[in-house]
Structure 1
Amino acid sequence: MARTAEGTPGAPHILIVGGGYVGMYTALRLQKKLKRELKRGEVKVTVVDPNSYMTYQPFLPEAAAGNISPRHVVVPLRRVLPKCTVRKARVTELNHDEGWAIVQPLAGPPERITYDYLVMAAGAVPRILPIPGLAEEGFSLKTVGEAIHLRNHVLEQLEVAESTDEVEIRRKALTFVFVGGGFAGVEAIAEVEDMVRDATKYMRKITPQDLRFVLVEASDRILPEVGPDMGKWTAEQLRGRGIDVKLKTFLQSAVGGEIELSDGSRFASGTLVWNAGVKPSPVVRHTDLPLDERGRIKGTEYLTIEGMVRAFTAGDNAAIPDLTQEGMFCPPNAQHALRQSKVLAANIVRSLRGKSLKPYVHGNLGAVAGLGLHKGVANPLGFKLKGWPAWFFHRTYHGLMVPTVNRKIRVLADWTLALFLKRETVSLATVEQPRADFELAALDDAKPRQKAS
Structure 2
Amino acid sequence: MTYQPFLPEAAAGSISPRHAVVPLRRELKKCRIVSGEVTKVEHARKTVTIQPIDGPSYEMAYDHIIVAPGSVSRTLPIPGLSEIGIGLKTIGEAIYLRNHILDRLDVAAVTPDPEVRKASLNFVFVGGGFAGIEALAEMQDVVADALKYYPELDPKEVHFILVEATNRILPEVGPEMGAYAARQLAARGIDLRLDTFLNSCVDGQIELSDGDSFRAETLVWTAGVKPSPMLQQTDLPLGPRGHVNCLPTLQVATLDGEVLEGAWAAGDCAQVPDLTNPGGWCSPSAQHAVRQAKVLADNIRQVVLGGAPKEYRHKHVGGVAGLGINKGVAHVYGIKVKGYPAWLMHRFYHVSRIPSFNRKVRVLADWVLAFVLKRETVALGQLHAPREEFLEVTPPVAPKPKAEEKSADKVGSSR
TM-based fold match above 0.5:
yes
Q: Secondary structure at the match of 2:145?
A: helix
1:440 equivalent to 2:392? Answer yes
Match of 1:431 in 2: 383
Match of 1:108 in 2: 55
Match of 1:119 in 2: 66
1:375 equivalent to 2:327? Answer yes
Match of 2:349 in 1: 397
CA distance in 2 between counterparts of 1:399 and 1:115 reads 34
CA distance in 2 between counterparts of 1:393 and 1:357 reads 33
CA distance in 1 between counterparts of 2:191 and 2:25 reads 44
CA drift at 1:436: 1.3
CA distance in 2 between counterparts of 1:163 and 1:431 reads 22
Match of 1:68 in 2: 15
1:150 equivalent to 2:94? Answer no
TM-score, scaled to structure 2: 0.93
TM-score, scaled to structure 1: 0.85
CA distance in 2 between counterparts of 1:93 and 1:163 reads 50
Deviates most, 422-431 or 86-95: 422-431
Are the counterparts in 2 of residues 121 and 317 from structure 1 also a CA contact under 8 Å? yes
Q: Which consecutive residues of structure 1, in runs of 5 or more, have no partner in the other structure? A: 1-53, 447-453
Query: What are the superposed Cα offsets for residues 278-336 of structure 1, whole Å, 9 maximum, x if unpaired?
Result: 11111111111111111111111000001311111110001100111111111110111
Q: Secondary structure at the match of 1:113?
A: strand
CA drift at 1:444: 9.9
CA drift at 1:165: 2.7
1:350 equivalent to 2:297? Answer no
Match of 1:417 in 2: 369
Which amino acid in structure 1 is aligned with residue 150 of structure 2? M
2:123 maps to which of 157, 164, 176: 176
Match of 1:242 in 2: 189
After superposition, residues 292-311 of structure 1 pair within 5 angstroms as 292-306=239-253, 307=258, 308-311=260-263
After superposition, residues 78-97 of structure 1 pair within 5 angstroms as 78-97=25-44
Q: Which consecutive residues of structure 2, in runs of 5 or more, have no partner in the other structure? A: 399-415
CA distance in 1 between counterparts of 2:292 and 2:389 reads 48
Match of 1:8 in 2: none
CA distance in 2 between counterparts of 1:296 and 1:413 reads 38
Match of 1:206 in 2: 153
Q: Secondary structure at the match of 2:277?
A: coil
The two structures, once aligned, show a CA RMSD in angstroms of: 1.2
CA, structure 1 residues 204+303, in 2 after alignment: closer, same or farther (shift >3 Å)?
A: same
Match of 1:364 in 2: 316
Query: What are the superposed Cα offsets for residues 411-435 of structure 1, whole Å, 9 maximum, x if unpaired?
Result: 1111001111001101224122111
CA drift at 1:251: 0.5
Are the counterparts in 2 of residues 153 and 429 from structure 1 also a CA contact under 8 Å? no
Match of 1:406 in 2: 358
CA distance in 2 between counterparts of 1:324 and 1:445 reads 67
Compare CA radii of gyration and give the structure with the larger one.
2
CA distance in 1 between counterparts of 2:389 and 2:397 reads 12
Q: Secondary structure at the match of 2:161?
A: strand
Match of 1:3 in 2: none
1:321 equivalent to 2:273? Answer yes
Match of 1:133 in 2: 80
Are the counterparts in 2 of residues 99 and 115 from structure 1 also a CA contact under 8 Å? yes
CA drift at 1:439: 1.2
Report how many aligned residue pairs link the two structures: 393
Match of 1:273 in 2: 220
Are the counterparts in 2 of residues 315 and 336 from structure 1 also a CA contact under 8 Å? yes
1:167 equivalent to 2:119? Answer no
Match of 1:450 in 2: none
CA drift at 1:119: 0.5
CA distance in 2 between counterparts of 1:445 and 1:370 reads 53
CA distance in 2 between counterparts of 1:403 and 1:118 reads 22
CA distance in 2 between counterparts of 1:428 and 1:118 reads 39
1:226 equivalent to 2:173? Answer yes
Which amino acid in structure 1 is aligned with residue 235 of structure 2? D
1:255 maps to which of 202, 206, 211: 202
Q: Secondary structure at the match of 1:234?
A: helix
Match of 2:2 in 1: 55
CA, structure 1 residues 429+266, in 2 after alignment: closer, same or farther (shift >3 Å)?
A: farther
Match of 2:406 in 1: none
2:134 maps to which of 184, 187, 198: 187
* Identity between Structure 1 and Structure 2 (%): 55
CA distance in 2 between counterparts of 1:375 and 1:121 reads 33
Which amino acid in structure 1 is aligned with residue 355 of structure 2? P
